[in-house]
Structure 1
Amino acid sequence: MAEAGTPIAKKGKSRANTPDPDFDWREIAWLMQVSRALDRLEETRLVPERKVLYQFSARGHDMAQVMLGTRLDHPRDGACGYYRSRPFLLSLGVELEDALGSAMGRAGGYSDGRDIGVVFNYPNPAGCPALPMCGGVGAQYTPTAGWAQAITYYRDVLGDDGYAGAIAVVLGGDASCATNGFWSALTIATTQKLPMLFYVEDNQYGISVPSTYQTPGGDIARNLASFGNLHVLSGDGTEPAEAAGLISEAAEYVRGGSGPALLRLSVPRLQGHSFQDTQAYKSEAFVASEWERDPLPKLKSYLVGALMDEAEWDAIAAEAEEAVAAASAAAEERTVSSPDRVTANVFYEGEMQLFGGQWTRGYRAPASTETPRPQGQRINMSTAIRRTLDAELELNPRMLLFGEDVGPKGGVHGVTLGLQEKYGVERVFDTSLSEEGIIGRAVGLALAGLLPVPEIQFRKYAEPALEQINDCGTMRWRTNNRFAAPMVLRMPVGFFKCGDPWHSQTNEVQFVHNPGWQVAVPSNAEDAVGLLRSALRGNDPVVFFEHRAMLDDAWARRPWPGDDYVLPFGHARKVREGDRITIVTWGAMVPRCEAAAEGLSADVIDLRTLQPWDREMVLKSVARTRRCLIVHEDLRTGGFGAEIAAVVADEAFLDLDAPVARLTMPDIPSPHNPVLLDWAVPSVERIRAKIDELLEF
Structure 2
Amino acid sequence: MRITEPLKNFKSEIIFNDMEEVDPSYDWNRVVYLMHCSRAIDQIEVNKLYPEKAIQTQFSAKGHELTQILLAMQLGLPGDAATVYYRSRPFLLASGLSLEDAFAATLTRSGGVNDGRDVGVVFNFPNRKGLSVLPGQGGVGAQYTPAVGWAQSLVFYRNHLKHSDYKKSIAVALGGDASTATNGFWSALNIATTQRLPFLFFIEDNGYGISVSSDMQTPNGNIAENLSAFGNLRVVEVDIARPNLAAAAIRKMVSLVREGHGPGLIRLKVPRLCGHSIQDSQAYKNAEQMVSEHLEDPLHKLKDYLTPRCLSPEQWDRLAVAAQADVSEALERALERPQPNLDDVQKYLYYEGFNDNDDQSYSAPTLLRPTETVEAPKRINMVTGIRMTLAHELSVNPRMVVFGEDVGAKGGVHTATLGLQDKFGAHRVFDTSLSEEGIIGRAVGMAYAGLKPVAEIQFRKYAEPAMEQLHDCGTVRWRTANRFSAPIVVRIPVGYGKSADLWHAESKEATWIRAVGWRVAFPSNAEDAVGLLRTALRSKDPVIFCEHRAMLDAAWARRNYPGDDHLTPFGKARLLAQGQEMTIITWGAMVERCSQAVAAFGEDVDLLDLRTLAPWDKNAVFESVRKTGRCLIVHEDNLTCGFGAEISAVVTEHLFSALRAPVMRVAFPDLPCPHNKALFQSLIPNQGTILEKMMALKEYENV
TM-score class normalised by the smaller sequence: over 0.9
Deviation digits for residues 563-595 of structure 1 (CA, Å, limit 9, x no counterpart) = 101011000001111111000000000011111
In the alignment, structure 1 residue 228 sits paired with structure 2 residue 231: yes
In the alignment, structure 1 residue 609 sits paired with structure 2 residue 612: yes
User: What residue is the counterpart of 1:636 in the other structure?
Assistant: 639
Choose the corresponding residue for 2:176, options 161, 170, 173. Answer: 173
Deviation digits for residues 115-148 of structure 1 (CA, Å, limit 9, x no counterpart) = 0101001112441010000010000000000000
CA contact (8 A) 1:592 1:684 kept: yes
In 2, Cα distance between equivalents of 1:375 and 1:421: 19
Q: Which SS does the other structure have where 1:358 is aligned?
A: coil
Q: Which SS does the other structure have where 2:6 is aligned?
A: coil
What RMSD in Å do the two structures reach over aligned CA positions? Answer: 1.5
Q: Which SS does the other structure have where 1:590 is aligned?
A: helix
In 1, Cα distance between equivalents of 2:14 and 2:110: 44
In the alignment, structure 1 residue 64 sits paired with structure 2 residue 61: no
Change (3 A) 1:579 1:12: farther
In 1, Cα distance between equivalents of 2:162 and 2:566: 31
Deviation digits for residues 403-423 of structure 1 (CA, Å, limit 9, x no counterpart) = 000011111111100001111
Q: Which SS does the other structure have where 2:5 is aligned?
A: coil
Q: Which SS does the other structure have where 1:127 is aligned?
A: coil
User: What residue is the counterpart of 1:476 in the other structure?
Assistant: 477
User: What residue is the counterpart of 1:509 in the other structure?
Assistant: 510
Letter in structure 2 aligned against 1:240: P
Deviation digits for residues 335-357 of structure 1 (CA, Å, limit 9, x no counterpart) = 111222111110002x1123x34
With structure 2 as the length reference, what TM-score do the two structures score?
Answer: 0.96
CA contact (8 A) 2:80 2:132 kept: yes
Using the TM superposition, name which of 132-141 and 289-298 deviates more.
289-298
CA contact (8 A) 1:407 1:430 kept: yes
Letter in structure 2 aligned against 1:439: I
Deviation digits for residues 195-252 of structure 1 (CA, Å, limit 9, x no counterpart) = 0000000000000000000000000000001100000010112321011011011101
In the alignment, structure 1 residue 365 sits paired with structure 2 residue 353: no
Change (3 A) 1:72 1:40: same
Letter in structure 2 aligned against 1:590: V
CA contact (8 A) 1:399 1:451 kept: yes
Deviation digits for residues 493-542 of structure 1 (CA, Å, limit 9, x no counterpart) = 00012210000000000000111100000000000011000010110000
Choose the corresponding residue for 1:237, options 220, 235, 240. Answer: 240
Q: What does residue range 569-588 of structure 1 map to in structure 2 within 5 Å?
A: 569-588=570-589
In 2, Cα distance between equivalents of 1:123 and 1:637: 42
In the alignment, structure 1 residue 25 sits paired with structure 2 residue 28: yes
Q: What does residue range 444-593 of structure 1 map to in structure 2 within 5 Å?
A: 444-593=445-594
What are structure 1's unaligned runs of at least 5 residues?
A: 369-373
Q: What does residue range 329-344 of structure 1 map to in structure 2 within 5 Å?
A: 329-344=332-347
User: What residue is the counterpart of 1:418 in the other structure?
Assistant: 419
User: What residue is the counterpart of 1:690 in the other structure?
Assistant: 693
Q: Which SS does the other structure have where 1:564 is aligned?
A: coil
CA contact (8 A) 2:148 2:192 kept: yes
Change (3 A) 1:2 1:300: same
CA contact (8 A) 2:4 2:235 kept: no
In 2, Cα distance between equivalents of 1:272 and 1:683: 57
In the alignment, structure 1 residue 352 sits paired with structure 2 residue 351: no
In the alignment, structure 1 residue 124 sits paired with structure 2 residue 123: no
Deviation digits for residues 90-119 of structure 1 (CA, Å, limit 9, x no counterpart) = 010101111000111111111111101010
Q: Which SS does the other structure have where 1:30 is aligned?
A: helix
Once the 2 structures are TM-superposed, how far is the Cα of residue 18 of structure 1 from its aligned partner? Answer: 2.3
What are structure 2's unaligned runs of at least 5 residues?
A: 368-374
Choose the corresponding residue for 1:4, options 6, 14, 18. Answer: 6
Letter in structure 2 aligned against 1:57: S
Once the 2 structures are TM-superposed, how far is the Cα of residue 10 of structure 1 from its aligned partner? Answer: 10
Using the TM superposition, name which of 382-391 and 53-62 deviates more.
53-62
Choose the corresponding residue for 2:263, options 256, 260, 263. Answer: 260
User: What residue is the counterpart of 2:370 in the other structure?
Assistant: none
CA contact (8 A) 1:12 1:244 kept: no
CA contact (8 A) 1:519 1:609 kept: yes
CA contact (8 A) 2:239 2:246 kept: yes
With structure 1 as the length reference, what TM-score do the two structures score?
Answer: 0.97
Q: Which SS does the other structure have where 1:630 is aligned?
A: strand
Deviation digits for residues 596-628 of structure 1 (CA, Å, limit 9, x no counterpart) = 011231000000000000000001100001100
User: What residue is the counterpart of 1:216 in the other structure?
Assistant: 219
User: What residue is the counterpart of 1:432 in the other structure?
Assistant: 433
In 2, Cα distance between equivalents of 1:336 and 1:638: 36
User: What residue is the counterpart of 2:675 in the other structure?
Assistant: 672
CA contact (8 A) 2:362 2:539 kept: no
Letter in structure 1 aligned against 2:519: Q
In 2, Cα distance between equivalents of 1:273 and 1:479: 24
Q: Which SS does the other structure have where 2:253 is aligned?
A: helix
Paired residues in the alignment total: 687
Q: Which SS does the other structure have where 2:132 is aligned?
A: coil
In 2, Cα distance between equivalents of 1:135 and 1:558: 45
In 1, Cα distance between equivalents of 2:13 and 2:579: 77
Change (3 A) 1:509 1:97: same
CA contact (8 A) 2:494 2:505 kept: yes
CA contact (8 A) 2:178 2:208 kept: yes
Q: Which SS does the other structure have where 1:544 is aligned?
A: strand
User: What residue is the counterpart of 1:371 in the other structure?
Assistant: none
In 1, Cα distance between equivalents of 2:426 and 2:110: 45
In 1, Cα distance between equivalents of 2:274 and 2:574: 59
In the alignment, structure 1 residue 187 sits paired with structure 2 residue 187: no
Letter in structure 2 aligned against 1:579: Q
In 2, Cα distance between equivalents of 1:150 and 1:206: 31
Letter in structure 2 aligned against 1:230: L
Deviation digits for residues 356-401 of structure 1 (CA, Å, limit 9, x no counterpart) = 3433xx5552169xxxxx9752100000000000000000110000
In the alignment, structure 1 residue 600 sits paired with structure 2 residue 599: no
User: What residue is the counterpart of 1:286 in the other structure?
Assistant: 289
In 2, Cα distance between equivalents of 1:520 and 1:7: 51
User: What residue is the counterpart of 2:661 in the other structure?
Assistant: 658
In 2, Cα distance between equivalents of 1:34 and 1:429: 46
Q: Which SS does the other structure have where 1:28 is aligned?
A: helix
Change (3 A) 1:73 1:318: same
CA contact (8 A) 1:63 1:238 kept: no
CA contact (8 A) 1:64 1:238 kept: no
Q: Which SS does the other structure have where 2:444 is aligned?
A: helix
CA contact (8 A) 1:11 1:235 kept: no
Once the 2 structures are TM-superposed, how far is the Cα of residue 663 of structure 1 from its aligned partner? Answer: 0.5
In 1, Cα distance between equivalents of 2:366 and 2:199: 38
In 1, Cα distance between equivalents of 2:397 and 2:42: 47
The sequence identity of aligned pairs, in percent, is: 55
